[in-house]
């Protein structure tokens, strides 16, 4: 339960607050001066501080500033008597979480405010932890690479990350272009700001302009309200434009203007909107050929190509295959609650011999499937791959296809018993039933 510090020189009011909050299960400490606030704050960590504005040896602003300097994650609520609301509002401008009037109108007023402030603090801490985890997961140092070419790509990414240079990532589908884009963002000065990703190929041509630049109410049929586009949402951060080669000529012109002038208008609008956005673009197409064929603006190509990085396909990164396979297999096993799974030497050799048309994404999907189907050891015969050399390559499969096949196999082995199938797969019966419904199965 949360620990709360109350600072108020009125013993009666202080005792009232203690009684109400202790009744809610909070651990309470109390004092009546700035000096006591500092001493208690130095001795313990508090989840929340309630401080009166008027204190015998100073004021609540001093308490607020002390906690801001020494325990910045601790929110402070100012207690204010009639006539000092303006000072309380000023305190909020200095960082106070909220203020509470004296005398209390009801105990619930205090309970609700404290609960809301603590919940806001908890959410903020979780967001900070998540942001830190994301930053660590997508740091260039966390990316797996043993292949010399891939190591060189990561080294170049580390060097360009702290700059504001536009980066163009090229390579086949599934080579990890978005992961590398996040790596660049996480190692940049914008790491604390938003990373916004948009797949230009996944949006209908009629929607791309509105999605990128937003639209005003009434701009077209169905535009019932104003829409903020990806560029505005990414202001101060990084915008990742995947499959950039799919943009038509009109959008190429508008994108070029944003890159050059940092301004644009929403669809149906006249207001000039200025943004500070770093763009990282990616494509699996040959933009030079598109330029030569007149399908991509040459000036936009050179603007995007400020700092090009090419990700080699997995079949050309043989040294990366074993380490990536073990990483994906271990992660999948951990998520399934399974013990450590080991790839045999024969399995590794078969993985290295395969051509990987789906690249890293296909390898990841495969390891997730074998993690479901295998226990302890994964051998070459457990790897459902196509012809390794010179034959027809296996069509890349999606995770949904792999998951569906695994569920069908488990149901077949258990003669349709869903409870046993769920136990075998290491998932809940509820999740299995949800997946079956998603696949169109009927009870």
Structural contact between residues 179 and 220, judged by C-beta atoms closer than 8 angstroms:
no
pLDDT over 70 (residue 269) = yes
Report the share of the chain in percent with pLDDT over 70.
Answer: 89
Q: Which has more confidence, 436 or 60? A: 60
Confidence grade of residue 387 (pLDDT, cut at 50, 70, 90): very low
Angle at 285 between CA 281 and CA 289, to 5 degrees: 110
Interval 413-426 mean pLDDT: 80
Residues 6+ apart with CB under 8 A from 161: 140, 183, 184, 185, 186, 187, 188
pLDDT reported for residue 13: 93
Question: Which residues make beta-bridge pairs with 28?
Answer: 4
pLDDT over 70 (residue 8) = yes
Confidence grade of residue 395 (pLDDT, cut at 50, 70, 90): very low
Cα(102)–Cα(52) distance, integer angstroms: 9
Cα(84)–Cα(378) distance, integer angstroms: 71
Confidence grade of residue 134 (pLDDT, cut at 50, 70, 90): very low
- Strand ranges, E, within 61-131: 76-81, 98-102
Mean pLDDT, the chain, whole residue set = 85
Report the share of the chain in percent with pLDDT over 90.
Answer: 49
Interval 249-270 mean pLDDT: 91
Q: Which of 120, 126, 127 is nearest to 96 (CA)?
A: 120
pLDDT reported for residue 138: 45
Q: Which of 153, 193, 146 is nearest to 176 (CA)?
A: 153
pLDDT reported for residue 86: 67
pLDDT over 80 (residue 293) = yes
pLDDT digits (tens, 9 = 90+) for 350-362: 999 999 988 998 9
Q: Which of 48, 50, 94, 99 is nearest to 71 (CA)?
A: 48
Phi, psi of 33 (to 5 degrees): -150, 170
Interval 11-30 mean pLDDT: 94
pLDDT reported for residue 363: 93
Structural contact between residues 404 and 439, judged by C-beta atoms closer than 8 angstroms:
yes
No. of helices (H) and no. of strands (E), the chain:
18, 16
Phi, psi of 50 (to 5 degrees): -110, 120
pLDDT reported for residue 244: 93
pLDDT reported for residue 311: 94
Handedness of CA 323, 174, 409, 436 (dihedral sign): positive
Angle between helices 85-93 and 60-70 (to 10 degrees): 10
Interval 167-185 mean pLDDT: 92
Q: What's the DSSP call for residue 32? A: S
Q: Which has more confidence, 406 or 78? A: 78
Confidence grade of residue 263 (pLDDT, cut at 50, 70, 90): very high
Confidence grade of residue 429 (pLDDT, cut at 50, 70, 90): confident
Confidence grade of residue 127 (pLDDT, cut at 50, 70, 90): low
In this structure, of 22-36, 332-346, 426-440, the range with the lowest mean pLDDT score is: 426-440
Confidence grade of residue 224 (pLDDT, cut at 50, 70, 90): confident
Domains observed in the chain: 3-132 (3.40.50.2300), 140-312 (3.40.50.300), 315-438 (1.10.8.60)
Confidence grade of residue 375 (pLDDT, cut at 50, 70, 90): confident
Residues 6+ apart with CB under 8 A from 116: none
Angle at 89 between CA 87 and CA 92, to 5 degrees: 115
Tell me if the bond preceding 156 is cis, omega within 30° of 0.
no
* Cβ-based burial of 272 (10 A; exposed 0-12, middle 13-18, buried ≥19): exposed
Interval 7-17 mean pLDDT: 93
Q: Which has more confidence, 398 or 393? A: 398
pLDDT over 60 (residue 139) = no
- Tokens representing 379 are 């051998």
pLDDT reported for residue 275: 92
Question: Which residues make beta-bridge pairs with 196?
Answer: 239
Structural contact between residues 172 and 284, judged by C-beta atoms closer than 8 angstroms:
yes
CA distances from 134 to 151, 205, 333, 425 (A): 21, 32, 21, 28
Confidence grade of residue 19 (pLDDT, cut at 50, 70, 90): very high
Confidence grade of residue 407 (pLDDT, cut at 50, 70, 90): confident
Question: Which residues make beta-bridge pairs with 101?
Answer: 80
Cα(269)–Cα(209) distance, integer angstroms: 13
Cα(443)–Cα(434) distance, integer angstroms: 11
Confidence grade of residue 415 (pLDDT, cut at 50, 70, 90): confident
């Amino acid at each position: 339960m949360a620990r709360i510090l109350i600072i108020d020189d009125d013993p009666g009011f202080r005792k009232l607050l203690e009684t109400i909050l202790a009744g809610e299960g909070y651990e309470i400490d109390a004092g009546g001066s700035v000096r006591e606030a500092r001493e208690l704050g130095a001795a313990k960590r508090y989840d929340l501080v309630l401080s009166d504005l008027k204190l015998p040896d100073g004021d609540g602003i001093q308490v607020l500033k002390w906690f801001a300097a020494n325990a910045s994650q601790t929110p402070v609520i100012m207690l204010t008597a009639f006539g000092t609301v303006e000072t309380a509002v000023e305190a909020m401008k200095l960082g106070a979480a909220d203020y509470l009037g004296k005398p209390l109108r009801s105990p619930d007023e205090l309970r609700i405010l404290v609960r809301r402030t603590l919940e806001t603090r908890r959410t903020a801490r979780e967001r900070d932890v998540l942001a830190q985890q994301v930053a660590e997961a997508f740091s260039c140092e966390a990316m797996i690479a043993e292949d010399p070419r891939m190591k060189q790509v990561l080294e170049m990414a580390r060097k360009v990350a702290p700059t504001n240079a536009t980066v163009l990532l090229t390579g086949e589908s599934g080579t990890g272009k978005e992961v590398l884009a996040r790596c660049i963002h996480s190692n940049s000065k914008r790491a604390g700001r938003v990373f916004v990703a948009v797949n230009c190929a996944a949006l209908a041509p009629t929607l791309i302009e509105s999605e990128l630049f937003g639209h005003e109410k009434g701009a077209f049929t169905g535009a019932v309200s104003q829409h903020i586009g990806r560029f505005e949402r990414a202001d101060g951060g990084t915008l990742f434009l995947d499959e950039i080669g799919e943009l038509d000529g009109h959008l190429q012109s508008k994108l070029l203007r944003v890159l050059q002038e940092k301004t644009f208008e929403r669809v149906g609008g006249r207001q000039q909107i200025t943004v500070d956005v770093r763009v990282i673009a990616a494509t699996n197409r040959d933009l030079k050929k598109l330029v030569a064929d007149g399908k991509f603006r040459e000036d936009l190509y050179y603007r995007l190509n400020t700092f090009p990085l090419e990700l080699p396909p997995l079949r050309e990164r043989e040294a990366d295959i074993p380490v990536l396979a073990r990483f994906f297999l271990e992660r999948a096993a951990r998520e399934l609650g399974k013990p450590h799974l080991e790839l045999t030497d024969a399995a590794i050799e078969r993985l290295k011999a395969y051509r990987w048309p789906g690249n890293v994404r296909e390898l990841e999907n495969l390891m997730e499937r074998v993690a479901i189907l295998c226990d302890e050891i994964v051998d070459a015969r457990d790897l459902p791959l196509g012809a390794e050399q010179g034959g027809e390559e296996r069509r890349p499969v999606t995770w949904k296809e792999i998951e569906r096949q695994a569920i069908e196999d488990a149901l077949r082995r258990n003669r349709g018993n869903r409870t046993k199938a769920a136990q075998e797969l290491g998932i809940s019966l509820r999740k299995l039933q949800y997946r079956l419904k998603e696949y169109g199965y009927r009870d």
